[in-house]
Amino acid sequence: MDSVVVTGAGSGIGAATCRRLAAQGIALVIHTGSNRQGAEALAEDCRAVPSRVLVGDLADPRTVDTLLDAARALGGLRGVVASAGFADRRTLDELDDDAVERSLGVMVVPLAHLLRKSMGLLRASVEAGGLGRFVAVSSFVAHRFVPGTSSFAASAAAKAGVEALVKSAAAELALCGVTVNAVAPGYVRKDRPHAGALSEAQWTQAVARVPMGRLATPDDIAAPIAFLLSPDAAYITGQVIHIDGGMTL
């Protein structure tokens, strides 16, 4: 049995993705930066398949090594879902250097570690007749800039970097049969109370900006991710798929 590594899986999109993959019989390496309780509860939910729970800072390359070692122990690596991240809703004028560096350090640098260190394993999986899939979670904030609405300057820069890395890796790996894609969610309902960067009033305003008239659920995002990890997505690579209820029409 081969496995999928899912980062940022203690809650939200990462956790929903793990549940979908477990339902397909895919072993899991469940990563969280700090939410051990959530990750361990998720592993219990997914107990029908083998799993490993790992807690660590993805900015440390040793954490990435540990995740990939866990995937090898489960039988090999068929895919990676990079969903770890956070939102900083401050404007550029409100940010300081530390805030900008934190966004890039949490979302861009670890993604580069993950891509570089998983390439060989994903290539090997394809060469052995299996799958090689990588999916990163971006955001609408890298695409939608409207005066007078919530601003996410540092997050927008970081997610744009995520998408550029995805396209670079897709180009490098295309001939190997490894696919690399990104999904760009819109506003997603949190599965933990008071989580996220917006107040209740701001969430209400957010819904008004969505043509479909509702927030996404984590599973709305997990479903396309699971598709991109599947055999049916073999001819899709280097893409950013918007899952935002029409916000970026």
Average pLDDT, the chain: 92
pLDDT value at residue 124: 97
pLDDT value at residue 46: 97
| Over residues 143-152, mean pLDDT | 77
Confidence tier at 221 by pLDDT (50, 70, 90): very high
pTM metric for this prediction: 0.93
pLDDT value at residue 102: 85
Output the CATH code of domain 3-243. 3.40.50.720
Range ranked top by mean pLDDT from 100-104, 117-121, 195-199: 117-121
pLDDT value at residue 149: 64
pLDDT value at residue 229: 98
Asked whether residue 38 carries a pLDDT value surpassing 90, the answer given is yes
- Spatial separation of the C-alpha atoms in residues 109 and 59, rounded to whole Å: 7
Q: How many CB atoms lie within 10 A of CB 135?
A: 26
Going from N- to C-terminal start, the domains of the chain cover 3-243
Comparing C-alpha atoms, which of 190, 104, 208, 196 is closest to residue 153? 104
